[in-house]
Amino acid sequence: MRLTVLGGGGFRVPLVYGALLRDRAPGRITHVTLHDLDAGRLAVVRRVLAEQAHDVPDAPEVTATTDLHPALRGADFVFSAIRVGGLEGRAADERIALAEGVLGQETVGAGGVAYGLRTVPVAELIARRIAALAPEAWVVNFTNPAGLVTEAMARHLGDRVIGICDSPVGLARRVARVLGVADPASVRLDYSGLNHLGWLRGLYVGADGAEENLLPRLFADDALLTSFEEGRLFGADWLRSLGTVPNEYLHYYYFTREAVTAYSRAEQTRGAYLLGRQARFYDEMARGGSGALAAWDRTRAEREATYMSENRQVSGAGERAADDLESGGYENVALALMRAIARGETATLVLNVRNGATIGVLDSDAVVEVPCLVDASGPRPLPVSQPAGHETGLIAAVKAVERCVLEAAESGSAQSAVKAFALHPLVDSVQVARRLLAGYQEAHPGLAYLR
Ligand code: G6P
Ligand code: MN
């Protein structure tokens, strides 16, 4: 089996390769092709992977190229994990929004809209190439904003593209842990929404027909409620008011003012911090520094420990607990997904796929984030309960924003781009939306297509 990783010089590629190394079953990935525009970063990542593979018998062979066509030809799976504009672009997305007093974040609010406007045209180009060069390949989209980008790629690849994120499985795992569930994989999740905009409404254990929802137990117990990341982030009171456990990214919607204030006061944005930290790693390694794997792992640990630190500060959540540091691990989601498809090992995973009739307020082509049953024929959404009124409102509003981004990318219309910013629930004026687009166009050459 051949896997191609687009964005193969990316910082998280060793996580993916680590998951592949742990897979010993027949039918596993035997060849990995890394594709990236940056040959220097490819070389650094290859060194890390070589150290990972040291002592592992039959480790997947790794090749690297900056040429897209040979990278795609013959691929069974393609992981798309690109970052258009790099971390410099992310830092600008964050900074320009914050300068307007609105949320500047990688995937949420104005920052997410800017990132989407920049990324969708590139993702569509890649999707068209895959459709032509590897029409049988399954495409796993890691590229953010993941739901929007998956929907853009699905216009060319249909159900062969599947979007993934580690946050829903991380949430489910944390809730299962505090509820004392021995095998988190055995629970049935009632989770739905869009990527980074979903709610856990039920966590069921027991056999069909005699299922028990464990969430009421969680809501009845303050100590349990504040013993995991989302509980500390949102507070016991608010979780009880909602009657659901929101994805951590909902913090930006429920505590917008505090988040914007904290982000504005921060010495540097998250993108700027990561840019500096990762550039140091890549530079040291490019200069021939030794111990690539150890240096990578130190940088990774720092990154994870500081994840969403401003949000945690705002809610007095304190340091991220060691137990909560273990995220869902998107590399594990990706591996489980590939195994299910390639070997028919049925799995239930929360994925970004076409809605069909799952969430009533959205049309069938809208990409949503829901639990899916995956087998050799790909993922199929499982039934979930319908979102509550306010959840429906947010889902519909943000999907409308995504559709404006898709329309802007297709037509090159600046008017649609302004509409995308202006309709976002976290942007509070059309005037602000106009200035945002102007500011982003000044910063990003990749937005020159909007007129
Ligand atoms: C989680 C999200 C990703 C996001 C990342 C940002 O893993 O699921 O979609 O890109 O966090 O983390 P960072 O360390 O880059 O701020
Ligand atoms: Mn994500």
Q: Which ligand is nearest to the CA of 170?
A: 1
CA of 104 from ligand 1 middle (Å) equals: 14
CA distances from residue 80 to 15, 41, 211, 340, 431 in whole angstroms, order as listed: 14, 16, 37, 19, 35
Look at residue 245 and tell me whether its pLDDT is greater than 90.
yes
Could you tell which of 140, 167, 311, 333 is best to mutate to test the pocket of ligand 1, judged by most ligand atoms within 8 Å of the CB?
A: 167
Look at residue 184 and tell me whether its pLDDT is greater than 90.
no
Supply the CATH number for residue 72's domain: 3.40.50.720
What mean pLDDT comes out for the span 238-249?
Answer: 97
CA of 212 from ligand 1 middle (Å) equals: 32
Q: Mean pLDDT of all residues in the chain?
A: 96
With respect to residue 142, please indicate whether it lies within any of the assigned structural domains. yes
CA of 107 from ligand 1 middle (Å) equals: 9
Which residues form the pocket of ligand 1, taking CB atoms under 6 Å from any ligand atom? 106, 144, 165-167, 270, 274, 303, 307
pLDDT in tens, 12-42: 999 999 999 999 988 899 999 999 999 999 9
Higher pLDDT, 330 or 297: 297
pLDDT in tens, 255-269: 999 999 999 999 999
By residue range, what is the domain housing residue 89?
Answer: 2-163
Crossing angle for the helix pair 430-443 and 109-133, nearest 10 degrees? 50
CA of 449 from ligand 1 middle (Å) equals: 27
Helical spans, DSSP H, in 54-108: 68-72, 86-99
With respect to residue 305, please indicate whether it lies within any of the assigned structural domains. no
With respect to residue 147, please indicate whether it lies within any of the assigned structural domains. yes
pLDDT in tens, 51-64: 999 999 999 999 99
With respect to residue 439, please indicate whether it lies within any of the assigned structural domains. no
Where does the pLDDT of residue 289 fall: very low under 50, low under 70, confident under 90, or very high at 90 and above? confident
Which residue is closest in CA terms to ligand 1's atom 13?
307
pLDDT above 90 coverage of the chain, percent: 92
Count of domains forming the chain: 1
- At 35 the pLDDT is 98
Which residue is closest in CA terms to ligand 1's atom 12?
307
With respect to residue 258, please indicate whether it lies within any of the assigned structural domains. no
Q: Taking ligand 2, which is a single-atom ion, which protein residues have CB atoms under 5 Å away? A: 165
- At 326 the pLDDT is 61
- At 319 the pLDDT is 79
Q: What token pair was written down for 343?
A: 């070997």
Q: What's the rounded Cα separation, in Å, for the pair 126 and 121? A: 9
Burial of 394 (0-12, 13-18, 19+ CB in 10 A): middle
With respect to residue 436, please indicate whether it lies within any of the assigned structural domains. no
What is the pTM assigned to this prediction?
Answer: 0.97
Which residue is closest in CA terms to ligand 1's atom 16?
307
With respect to residue 112, please indicate whether it lies within any of the assigned structural domains. yes
Q: What type of residue is 413?
A: S
* Cβ-contact 28, 22 below 8 angstroms: no
CA of 105 from ligand 1 middle (Å) equals: 10
With respect to residue 46, please indicate whether it lies within any of the assigned structural domains. yes
